[in-house]
Amino acid sequence: MKKLSIAMLSMLLAGSMLLTGCGGGNDAQTTTDDQSDSTASETNTDYKLAVDGTLTMATNAFFEPYEYYEGEEIVGIDAEVGKAIADKLGLNFAISDMEFDSIITAVSSGKADMGMAGMTVTPDREKNVDFSRTYATGVQSIIVPEGSDITSPDDLAGKKIGVQQGTTGDLYCTDDFGEEAMSRYSKGTDAIMALTQGKIDCVVIDNAPAQKYVEANEGLKILDTAYAEEDYAIAFAKDNTALKDAVDAALGELIEDGTVQSIIDKYITAD
């Protein structure tokens, strides 16, 4: 039923864009007549883009290994998967780096085409954006200094908890431990800095960046939280179903042919 309404919506949108003459902000050719053996690059291209011919990804590039700076360049799993999607769609690729909690607004207002930031699908976010299929998972981890008296999530009560503002770590901990427990930072790295300076007792953040922080900072270790596994997906404006469908098709191909896994394996080494 959900499928049907999405299909109908995209037909309606395609129709209204034709009528208003503003369809297809991209230069790629529409191939709506061509139904035979279509690949992602040949799916419906009646989508709007913030910049003609370019797929603009909104992210917060302080989340290694998903997105982070190597010199001037933003690299990481999302940066590479995003680029591979743009390539499949025959589009240029641009990354717009911003605060994590600005991404959904940037996407829903059309300033960026998609939000890709190790972003967890949550019911609240789904009120404002539509999500692609899942391409990775994460769980929230607790980072503590070695020797901390926090040894399990039960010990978090009464502690000072550091999080990146607006992330699921922030949302869950605020729910569970209350406003007064929270110290919010614009970057995960700032939370880690505060932890190493003894200003807070722990940092709650996704497991993959947690691993990177612990590798980079001596004297820290990771505990698991009580929070369940999260699905990461790409966010789209609710009125840009055609783009979501095109990206989903491209992403699906990249998952099925192993490209996504090989990109993940490049940044996350199992051990």
Judged by CB under 6 A, which of 119, 200, 242, 249 binds ligand ARG? 119
Q: How far is the CB of 132 from ligand ARG (least distance, A)?
A: 14
Residue 138 binds ligand ARG, judged by CB under 6 A: yes
Q: How far is the CB of 187 from ligand ARG (least distance, A)?
A: 8
Alpha-carbon distance 109 to 187, whole Å?
A: 23
Nearer to ligand ARG, 42 or 206 (CB): 206
Nearer to ligand ARG, 58 or 254 (CB): 58
Nearer to ligand ARG, 25 or 76 (CB): 76
Nearer to ligand ARG, 46 or 206 (CB): 206
Residue 206 binds ligand ARG, judged by CB under 6 A: yes
Q: How far is the CB of 121 from ligand ARG (least distance, A)?
A: 8
Alpha-carbon distance 116 to 102, whole Å?
A: 12
Nearer to ligand ARG, 44 or 60 (CB): 60
Alpha-carbon distance 234 to 219, whole Å?
A: 34
- Classify 67 as helix, strand or coil: strand
Site for ligand ARG in 98-117 (CB under 6 A): 100, 117
142 alpha-carbon distance from chain centroid? 20
Two tokens, residue 259: 């490209």
Nearer to ligand ARG, 229 or 257 (CB): 229
Nearer to ligand ARG, 120 or 241 (CB): 120
DSSP string, 197-214: TTSSSEEEEEHHHHHHHH
What is the Rg, in whole angstroms, of the alpha carbon atoms belonging to the chain? Answer: 20
Q: How far is the CB of 210 from ligand ARG (least distance, A)?
A: 11
Q: How far is the CB of 269 from ligand ARG (least distance, A)?
A: 20
Contact predicate 158/270, CB 8 Å: no
Q: How far is the CB of 186 from ligand ARG (least distance, A)?
A: 10
Residue 80 binds ligand ARG, judged by CB under 6 A: no
Two tokens, residue 32: 């709506």
Count CB atoms within 10 A of the CB of residue 148.
17
Residue 131 binds ligand ARG, judged by CB under 6 A: no
Identify which range of 104-112, 151-159, 160-168, 255-263 contacts ligand ARG by CB under 6 A.
160-168
Nearer to ligand ARG, 91 or 210 (CB): 210
187: phi then psi, degrees, rounded to nearest 5: -130, 150
User: How do 220-224 and 140-145 pair as beta strands?
Assistant: antiparallel
Count CB atoms within 10 A of the CB of residue 157.
10
In the chain, alpha helices (H): 2-20, 77-88, 103-108, 123-126, 168-177, 188-196, 207-216, 241-256, 259-267
Query: Would you give the binding string for ligand ARG spanning residues 230-259, x where CB under 6 A is met?
Result: x-----------------------------
List of residues 6+ apart from 31 with CB closer than 8 A? 38, 42, 43, 45
Which residues would be at the binding site for ligand ARG (CB under 6 A)? 59-60, 62-63, 66-67, 100, 117-120, 138, 164, 167-168, 206, 230
